[in-house]
Chains A and B, each alone.
Chain A
Amino acid sequence: MSLLEVKNLQVAYGGIQAVKGIDFHIDQGELVTLIGANGAGKTTTLKTLIGMVKPSGGSITYDGKLNGTIPSYDYVRHGLVMVPEGRGIFSKLTVEENLQMGAYYRNDKAAIQSEIERVYELFPRLKERFKQLAGTLSGGEQQMVAMGRAMLSKPKLLLLDEPSMGLAPIIVEKIFEIIQMIAKEGVTMLLVEQNAKLALEVSQRGYVMESGRITMGGPARELLDDERVRNAYLGE
């Protein structure tokens, strides 16, 4: 059975139908990407999955449970975690406090501390700046904080919204390395990206979203070779 099963999902934002009935699924352990142009409905889809936006129709089944039956702040307790668009770090909290917020729902203090140390090993830059206010960090460092914070939430399904947005190419590479590393640890991921080439290269499967609909889906390799995808999203 799939970890996430989305059926005929529809979302309306103040009269505008942003998502017009989409179906997709993510299996345990997969890294799946959702690509598409600005305004295609990708972020809205993620926000609906995590409970920040209410769907107007259709169903979302996560881990065998129908979403919408628990309050959205409890999703994280079930392993559904999101790194929001624009990173969503708490700029007036220190780096360390941001990481601690990721573990807010947990009470195993010793384990939390050792996982924070592990995040510092992954991102030595954060260790140097652990007492600094997160708002004073560069965009790339902030993205590291956001990813580290998400790891402390112990995700089963991690939703990543545009992790490469606004970052220098060298930082983007680093972020994608981390994404692959998290995937190797068995965390299932849904990656929303405008950088379609990079996203498809690290993913097993992909979906293409266009004005609120999923128009294509399949193994990432095939999408990378697809004529239409190449023309529309890979700039070739």
Chain B
Amino acid sequence: MDIFIQQILNGLVLGSIYALIALGYTMVYGIMGLINFAHGEVVMFGAMVCITVVSTLTHSGVNLPGWAIVLIGTLVAIPACALLGFVIERVAYRPLRGAQRLAPLITAIGLSITLQQVAILIWGRNYIPFPDLLNSDTVSIMGASITKLQVMIVVLCVVLMTGLLVIVEKTKLGRAMRATSQNPSVAGLMGVNVNTIISATFMLGSALGAIAGVMVATNYSQAHYYMGFMIGLKAFTAAVLGGIGNLGGAVAGGILLGIIESLGAGYIGQLTGGFLGSNYQDIFAFMVLILVLIFRPSGLLGEKMADRA
């Protein structure tokens, strides 16, 4: 029983991070029908930029508490990634608007590889440790333990996701985003500059990705140029699971996937009689992806396509 609750908690932490990244995929998909496979790399850049800032500050010997240094690193990573998202759309996707669907997809994969290579040039091929600045005290909940940092991650994710939903549902920008996603040419007739809205969408998604990147890096105490690939793929799975294009779906899909994966990792040894270990946890995410694509391609909360009157 202990292991069950422990894995649920771990899954919640992992799942909130997936959800945050999945929102970036789903927002871009919702507005332009495009899977931005380079989004995982944006997450990686967020982690890398933050670590660079944090390490520089620590080595310069400034006298600040650990959390303040991490906060500064995050506040640098957010605009850096928003800018990266803006540039990605401008350089890689905008010229392909109106092209066949395959062209932007291939571009996305190419971009993903390119960004990894750029990261190697800047930060090298090795794992970069995240300086040990944050409180690693644990709290125990029903016999399971979780670090204060992880509690913080979950709380922050909830706050950010709520904030995003408020922006999308209640503000003029959000209304324009939803209108653009449904019918860009009519939105244009209303005075919406579709390019601005698309840029804003990429920047917003990338900013969330930056924060997710910092969370991953602090949670695992390291970052790596390749880290965006797997987590991006998992978050993409989460977005598909929830119903791609649907914000609530991305959140639900992310948390569900995190929990499935954690429980799977916790019990895979028992299930296979010790044949497979918890290092096989990745298979659960992709099993979920395959099952969803076979049985419910529109996702849990997704709607049927072709509903335009």
Least Cβ distance of A191 to chain B in Å? 17
Contacting residues of chain A (93-107) with chain B, CB-CB under 8 angstroms: 93, 97, 100-102, 104-105
Which residues does chain A contribute within 8 Å of B185, judged by CB atoms? 52, 84, 88
The count of chain B contact residues (Cβ–Cβ below 8 Å) is 20
Which listed residue (A87, A101, A102) contacts B309, Cβ 8 A?
A87
Give CA–CA (A100, B307) in the complex, Å. Answer: 22
Which listed residue (B190, B193, B194, B307) contacts A101, Cβ 8 A?
B190
CB pair B187 A101 closer than 8 Å? yes
Q: With contacts A91-B307, A92-B182 known, is A97 near B191, CB below 8 A?
A: no
Least Cβ distance of B198 to chain A in Å? 13
Least Cβ distance of A103 to chain B in Å? 8
CB pair B191 A88 closer than 8 Å? no
CB pair A105 B190 closer than 8 Å? yes
Which residue on B lies nearest to A74, using beta carbons?
B191
Please provide the 9 A-B residue pairs with the shortest distance between their CB atoms, ordered closest to farther. A105-B191, A88-B186, A76-B191, A104-B190, A73-B188, A90-B179, A90-B182, A101-B190, A104-B191
CB pair A77 B189 closer than 8 Å? no
Can you list 23 A-B pairs with a CB-CB distance of less than 8 A?
A50-B189, A52-B185, A71-B193, A73-B188, A73-B189, A73-B192, A73-B193, A76-B190, A84-B189, A89-B186, A89-B309, A90-B178, A90-B186, A100-B172, A101-B175, A101-B187, A101-B192, A104-B175, A135-B309, A139-B309, A149-B190, A153-B190, A153-B191
Binding site for A on B (CB under 8 A): 172, 175-176, 178-179, 182-183, 185-194, 307-309
Give CA–CA (A93, B185) in the complex, Å. Answer: 16
A132 within 8 A of B: no
Which residues does chain A contribute within 8 Å of B307, judged by CB atoms? 91, 135
Which residue on B lies nearest to A149, using beta carbons?
B190
Least Cβ distance of A166 to chain B in Å? 10
Give CA–CA (A52, B185) in the complex, Å. Answer: 8
Least Cβ distance of A112 to chain B in Å? 11
Give CA–CA (A204, B309) in the complex, Å. Answer: 32
Which residues does chain A contribute within 8 Å of B308, judged by CB atoms? 91
CB pair B191 A92 closer than 8 Å? no
A18 within 8 A of B: no
Give CA–CA (A157, B291) in the complex, Å. Answer: 53
Interface centre among B175, B176, B193 (most CB of A within 10 A): B175
Give CA–CA (A71, B274) in the complex, Å. Answer: 65
Give CA–CA (A56, B193) in the complex, Å. Answer: 24
CB pair A97 B182 closer than 8 Å? no
Give CA–CA (A77, B193) in the complex, Å. Answer: 12
Which listed residue (A52, A82, A88, A93) contacts B175, Cβ 8 A?
A93
Least Cβ distance of B254 to chain A in Å? 22
A31 within 8 A of B: no
Least Cβ distance of A54 to chain B in Å? 14
Give CA–CA (A139, B190) in the complex, Å. Answer: 21
Q: With contacts A73-B194, A90-B182 known, is A104 near B309, CB below 8 A?
A: no
Which listed residue (A75, A84, A89, A93) contacts B178, Cβ 8 A?
A93
A28 within 8 A of B: no
Least Cβ distance of A92 to chain B in Å? 6
A72 within 8 A of B: yes
A126 within 8 A of B: no
Give CA–CA (A38, B114) in the complex, Å. Answer: 50
Least Cβ distance of A146 to chain B in Å? 9
CB pair A77 B191 closer than 8 Å? yes
Which residues does chain B contribute within 8 Å of A91, judged by CB atoms? 182, 307-309
Least Cβ distance of A108 to chain B in Å? 13
Contacting residues of chain A (21-53) with chain B, CB-CB under 8 angstroms: 50, 52
Interface centre among B172, B186, B187 (most CB of A within 10 A): B186
Which residues does chain B contribute within 8 Å of A151, judged by CB atoms? none
Q: With contacts A87-B309, A101-B175, A142-B309 known, is A93 near B182, CB below 8 A?
A: yes
A81 within 8 A of B: yes
Give CA–CA (A89, B185) in the complex, Å. Answer: 11
Interface contacts beyond A52-B189, A76-B191: sample of 19 additional A-B pairs, CB < 8 Å, sorted by A: A52-B185, A73-B189, A73-B191, A84-B189, A87-B309, A88-B183, A88-B185, A88-B186, A89-B186, A90-B179, A90-B187, A91-B182, A92-B182, A93-B175, A101-B179, A101-B190, A102-B190, A142-B309, A153-B191
Which residues does chain B contribute within 8 Å of A71, judged by CB atoms? 193
CB pair A72 B175 closer than 8 Å? no
Q: B-facing mask of A174-210, CB < 8 A → 1, else 0?
A: 0000000000000000000000000000000000000
Give CA–CA (A77, B307) in the complex, Å. Answer: 30
Least Cβ distance of A28 to chain B in Å? 22
Least Cβ distance of A162 to chain B in Å? 14
